[in-house]
Amino acid sequence: MHKGIGILTSGRDSPALNCAIRAAVSHANLTYNWEVVGIPYATQGLLERQTVLLSMHGWDLRGIDPLLNMGGTVLGSVNKGDTLAHADDILASYEALVLDALITVGGDGSLKIIQQLGTLGNWHLVGIPKTIDNDVAFTEVSIGFDTVINTIVDAINCLTFTAASHDSVMIVEVMGPYCRSFSTTLRDCWWCRCNFNS
C-alpha cells in the first residue's frame, strides 16, 4: 500500500533541522518506499496547501545528501500568528493533501499546536523535538542543544586566551528564555574541565 507523509519545520531556527529532514526522507524512502512531501513554512504552508516532493534523488543528481552540511531549514519556518484560529482551514488542507501522517520538527510551542490540530483531525503524528533551549517535556536532549553548547564552549575557550593575555576577567552571557539548560549544562561542562585540569 502506497503511503504519503508530510514533514514540516516550525518555530525558531535550530541546528540540525536539515539533518532531521534528510533522515526522515531517507528512512521513509529506502525502508518503506513511502513518498515524502515537504511543507514549506510550517502551518502557513499547510494552510496554503504548498508541498515539495522530497526524495533521495530529488532536486538534483546528489539528492538530499547535501542537507547534512547545510544550516537552517530548506523548508523554511515560521514562528508567528494564531494558527488555531485557522484550525478548520488547516484540517481541510491536510485532508486535501491526502497525507497518511505528518512529521513535525518543532519546539514546545509548535509541537503543542500540531498536537492540538492532530487531535481535532485524527492525524497520525510524529513530533521531533528541536530547540536550542532543550525545554521540550519528556525529552532528554532536543535537536540543536548539543551544537549550541559546543559552540558556546568553543567561544569561551577562545575568550580564555584573550582574558589571560590581558590579565582580565570576562563575563559571558548566554540566552535561553525560560529554562536554565544553557547555564547549568555549561556550568557542568566548565566544572568538569576545571576538575580535570587541577
User: Do the beta carbons of residue 41 and residue 76 sit within 8 Å?
Assistant: yes
Spacing of C-alpha 149 from chain mean position: 16
In this structure, the number of other CB atoms found within 10 A of the CB of residue 100 comes to 14
Please state the φ and ψ torsions of residue 123, each to the nearest 5 degrees.
-85, 155
User: Do the beta carbons of residue 125 and residue 117 sit within 8 Å?
Assistant: no
- 60 catalytic residue (yes or no): no
User: Do the beta carbons of residue 110 and residue 131 sit within 8 Å?
Assistant: no
Sign of the torsion angle spanned by Cα atoms 72, 180, 136, 139: positive
Residues contacting 146, CB < 8 A, separation 6+: none
Catalytic residue among 60, 89, 133, 135: 133
Element at 103 (helix H, strand E): strand 101-106
In this structure, the number of other CB atoms found within 10 A of the CB of residue 30 comes to 10
Sign of the torsion angle spanned by Cα atoms 6, 137, 16, 12: positive
Active site amino acids: 133
